[in-house]
Chain A
Amino acid sequence: ETGVTQSPTHLIKTRGQQVTLRCSSQSGHNTVSWYQQALGQGPQFIFQYYREEENGRGNFPPRFSGLQFPNYSSELNVNALELDDSALYLCASSLTRNKGREQFFGPGTRLTVL
């Protein structure tokens, strides 16, 4: 176990709805990254938070947004859900945001959009 937890484990939503996914970082880790992993694909970088501020963003539309809290836990919010948003959403925490940092992944939240 990596010490990174995510909730919920599974979630089913319908098109147009909104969803919030949660991530609890490993103790002392101030950096969290979110990834989307479609079935049979590698994870795609959504964004990264460092000390409560967005610190980098991948090629995802603005309806994907996030928050990081003072205890470094994090949320991923997705508005106006689309069928293609169905995927495994992973968060990864790390001690720093420096080059070559070790990322510890949670088990993911499986989102299904109907």
Chain B
Amino acid sequence: TQLLEQSPQFLSIQEGENLTVYCNSSSVFSSLQWYRQEPGEGPVLLVTVVTGGEVKKLKRLTFQFGDARKDSSLHITAAQPGDTGLYLCAGERTGNQFYFGTGTSLTVIP
């Protein structure tokens, strides 16, 4: 059983479209991270959010941490084929341990 549920599990969109990935839990986290993982590689950190309600932008990617620090979202504007990959959220709990979500596999079609 994973603490964090991501939706959707799979997403296939055309280049130029917008999308949002959700990461939800009933647990409170001290911080939340988003990663992207490509086949044959380990996850690569995209962002860390710490404060409830926090919004961070990284070029075309916007990350939001829920007010209650139980959920988060990742919004991509004008998706590009290079955005293709597995997106993972990871919530930090007691003992500074990270618990990963179930993952969202994104395919951007040129």
Contact = CB atoms under 8 A, between A and B. Distances in A.
**Interface size, B (range):** 20 to 34
Given A4-B42, A102-B45, A105-B43, A42 B95 contact: no
B100 A42 contact: yes
Contacts of B44: 2, 105
Interface in A19-67: 33, 35, 40-45, 48, 55-56, 58
Contacts of A100: 30-31, 33, 48, 50, 92
Contacts of B101: 42
Interface in A62-107: 90, 92, 97-107
A19 to B, nearest CB: 19
B42 A92 contact: yes
A44 B43 contact: no
Interface residues of A, number: 28
A97 to B, nearest CB: 5
A101 B96 contact: yes
Interface of B: 2, 4, 6, 30-31, 33, 40-45, 48, 50, 88, 90, 92, 95-103
Please provide the 8 A-B residue pairs with the shortest distance between their CB atoms, ordered closest to farther.
A105-B42, A42-B100, A56-B95, A100-B31, A43-B100, A42-B103, A56-B97, A100-B48
